[in-house]
Structure 1
């Protein structure tokens, strides 16, 4: 199931959004049913009613995070589709910059969940499936820009973006956020190296 097919009732969305915030603030050890109830100002037991086990809570959080990621990315993807290939460097730069500023907590929560997914097979499957729509969007965009190997080029772009975001959100370069212009130049350089002449 891709994230686009997921529908979150209001209460479950609140629970999952609160869980994302707690993961970013306290890490996995700080994510409990009681902590979600308290942070969301819900009656005791509310989180348990929607996610009976810790595994169920983690699964709901992964799915909700994927929804929020795809919503963020799709807004700029639409601009690329309507505006042409020359818009892609600016769009990707905007997405990365937005994550490193307004949405840094989403990145931290995702890193926590990604590591947990390496230890839980059931969570790994959900984590991978939830990100499928994001990968499909990126492959489609690179193909539209003229890539002869869109799967491989999409992976390279994704890996570069993930590396920059991790380094600047939680790694050695966390003290400084690249500007949108710096990111735009880097994306443009990557695309020029991947695509046929005139493709970026």
Structure 2
């Protein structure tokens, strides 16, 4: 994954690709449409990304860089802080970053039929898991990898419902239950 300067032509292409995916879906992601959305001369996108697969790869790089930066900013010292920071992350991803999150969900659906894309998204997800495992290790979770998977599954589900159904339910109560479970020792239940 490479970090792209958002003001560069490549950065504008990636941002336009994310916006098209998140607002109009997978079929909108064409070189011509990206050029138009980015306000670039026709052919600019194909100069940077020769194929649709390469363009998807660039868009994924942009998505992962932005979202991972936000996820890695979660550094709680207590369970309560973890609940608040995860809830804030959910609200960020479904509020100001809603289009980016919708683009990620479009890519998930594309990955169901594209093994290369599926492999790429799976590989990138491991970076998110590692970030959550590190946080849970700092909080002395009994089984950080399992707890990370559970918390991520919950947050991903909440995010999906908030984006797809415009569900504005406060995520804190559900996250609090999951955090308590993640940080309790087996048999504490």
TM-score relative to the length of structure 1: 0.85
Q: Which residue of 2 aligns with 1:195?
A: 183
Q: CA deviation at 1:196?
A: 2.5
CA separation in 2, counterparts of 1:167 and 1:8?
A: 30
CA separation in 2, counterparts of 1:122 and 1:192?
A: 37
Question: Is 1:163 aligned with 2:157?
Answer: yes
Question: Is 1:8 aligned with 2:27?
Answer: no
| Residues 54-93 of structure 1 mapped to structure 2, 5 A cutoff | 54-75=52-73, 77-78=74-75, 80=76, 83-93=77-87
* More contact order relative to length (CA 8 Å, sep ≥ 6): 1
Q: CA deviation at 1:30?
A: 1.0
Which blocks of at least 5 consecutive residues in structure 1 are unaligned?
none
Give aligned pairs, total: 184
Q: CA deviation at 1:138?
A: 0.4
CA separation in 2, counterparts of 1:71 and 1:161?
A: 17
Which blocks of at least 5 consecutive residues in structure 2 are unaligned?
none
Q: Which residue of 2 aligns with 1:103?
A: 97
Q: Superposition RMSD on alpha carbons, in Å? A: 1.8
Q: CA deviation at 1:7?
A: 2.5
Q: CA deviation at 1:147?
A: 1.2
Q: Which residue of 2 aligns with 1:118?
A: 112
1:185 to 164, 173, 186: 173
Q: Which residue of 1 aligns with 2:124?
A: 130
Contact 2:3 2:62 (8 Å CA) reproduced: no
CA separation in 2, counterparts of 1:131 and 1:193?
A: 22
Contact 2:3 2:65 (8 Å CA) reproduced: no
TM-score relative to the length of structure 2: 0.90
Q: CA deviation at 1:118?
A: 2.1
Q: Secondary structure at the match of 2:41?
A: coil
Q: CA deviation at 1:193?
A: 2.2
